[in-house]
Amino acid sequence: MTVQYYGLDWIGTVLGLLSIYYIGRNDKLAFVLRILASLFWGAFGIVAHTPAAIIANFAAIVLCVRGLSLPKVRRDPSA
C-alpha cells in the first residue's frame, strides 16, 4: 500500500532547516518558522497515522509560542 504525503514532509523539512538558520542568527523569526514546520510535520503525522509525531510537534509548537513571548535579552559584547 502506497501512502501519499502531499509534500508535507518536504515542506516541514525546509521550514525546520530555515528555523535552525535563524536560531543561529538569534532571530525570533526562527520560532515562527519552527511553528510552521511543526504544523506541517503534525499534518504529516495525521496522514501517516503516527501519534508520536503529532504529540511531539504539538509540544514543539507550545515551546516556540513560549519562546516568542519571552523578551529578547541583549548580550553584552564585552562579556
For the chain, what are the domain ranges?
15-69
C-alpha pair distances (Å), 63 with each of 4, 19, 34, 35, 75: 29, 14, 10, 9, 22
- Residue 79: the pLDDT is 60
Global pTM reads: 0.86
pLDDT in tens, the chain (79 residues): 677 889 999 999 999 999 999 999 999 999 999 999 999 999 999 999 999 999 999 999 999 999 999 887 776 667 6
